[in-house]
Homo-oligomer: A and B are copies of this chain.
């Protein structure tokens, strides 16, 4: 969706962006090297060249930008000065500082970002690569050794025969659809192969479902907080988002009932196993209740179980679809990213046969089908998945214990609830806005996902997501950098035990 208005039909859009969107467009500025003013100037220049900042766009006042980025005003002054020297910005009394009219702009209708989206800086980091940064925006690791074994097994098979077909499978390689169906059946959700569509990661499953169910001006219902990149997928359709809070058992059923009654949304988007960023596992009772509510209001559910098996500190309920009454329309997205390797980019969505057929049409339109070799490997690995997951649990538990110990020692004022699963801690910062902290942390080499990106209501502005899916040496370095950033932010934490706290 391109929702930009253009001042001259057929010319470049000149929508004025909000201050937070402007700052988000060069949010990764601090991760480079060299003097701070030069890094800031480079970040703004790149945002202009990439089309994120258009000619005529107003920049924040120097004092204001210095406050938000937690840098000295002198640094901002020097950066603006450097940009004025090369003619990229101009400052006028009364109208502030703006991108100059002749700054290079290509004639595309969008810079590729989702208007109003919150995930832009996370996406940008995936594109730019990590540099020296420890990025907490993703919680994925290298591949499990079983992938190497599967690859070598496949290499020893009759590859010439296996590759002797045209190679287009928009619905998915038949053997993989079968393997996914068998796997889901094994988790307590009886599934046939024609109920499964293979996607390029669970992310693409979200995209295809959004294309089918969402429309400009419509509404999606999500949890608060939720994951910014997923919400961006819905926003990209021009769809509004309403949220319900979650507690330790999952999405609040009373709030959900009220939201469904007040404004029937087009889709309910949930992460029951496990919720990102909080790590909450939705209970069986809550799953049943949510399924009933959705069926009564005739609203389809998309359950995103991309984190299933990523950590497993207890018994997991079946997928939400297994608890929903007849008549409820539940789509279940999953992925091998967190259990085998994200680089396989193998995900799926499971649902009613006729919906899967429609989704396959969108998949064909999107890319004519995912690559075949990864699907062959995935089909070989799926029967082993329970064993692969079980083998990884001790490693991940160890990492969780390690970071918890480090944090208790180095950052004793921070608070979190131990996650039921997933790859991150949901940290509450005592008395500090997490967005402000994220700017400081970036300069210390850590990319933090602040709560404000996960929740537009402001209820989680003091929270941030801390991924712990790293080796112990990286975790040591991570907590050390965070502790130094925390020292720099220079505030004393209030006594956390005295305050009422939001748990998730």
Q: Tell me the A residues contacting B by CB distance below 8 Å.
A: 2, 10, 49-51, 104, 106-114, 120, 123-124, 126-127, 138, 140-143, 145, 147-148, 151-152, 154-155, 159-160, 163-171, 199-201, 203-204, 207, 211-216, 218, 232-233, 236, 264, 266, 298, 300, 329, 337, 341-346, 352, 354-355, 357-362, 364-374, 377
Contacts and interface: CB of A to CB of B under 8 A. Distances in A.
Nearest to A357: B50
A395 to B, nearest CB: 14
A138 B160 contact: no
Specify how many copies of this chain sit in the oligomer. 2
Contacts of A368: 126, 200-201, 203, 342, 345
Contacts of A373: 151, 343-344, 371, 373-374, 377
Contacts of A107: 298, 300, 329
Given A109-B215, A110-B212, A215-B109, A127 B345 contact: no
A233 B352 contact: no
Given A344-B372, A346-B371, A373-B373, 17 more contacts: A51-B354, A106-B358, A107-B298, A108-B213, A109-B215, A112-B365, A126-B369, A127-B171, A138-B168, A143-B163, A167-B342, A168-B342, A203-B368, A207-B366, A345-B372, A366-B366, A370-B371
Nearest to A361: B112
A266 B142 CA distance: 42
Contacts of A211: 110, 112
B166 A367 contact: no
List 4 tightest A-B contacts by C-beta distance, closest first: A167-B343, A112-B361, A155-B155, A143-B163
Contacts of A357: 50, 112, 127
A367 B200 contact: yes
A233 to B, nearest CB: 7
A360 B127 contact: yes
6 contacts: A107-B298, A112-B358, A114-B365, A126-B169, A142-B165, A147-B159
Contacts of A364: 123, 126-127
Nearest to A142: B164
Contacts of A109: 212-215, 218, 266
B160 A145 contact: yes
Contacts of A167: 140, 142-143, 337, 341-345
Contacts of A114: 365
Given A212-B112, A354-B51, A361-B113, A166 B371 contact: no
Given A342-B167, A358-B50, A364-B123, A329 B213 contact: no
Contacts of A140: 166-168
A159 B366 CA distance: 30
Contacts of A152: 155, 159
A242 to B, nearest CB: 15
A362 B2 contact: no
A142 B163 contact: yes
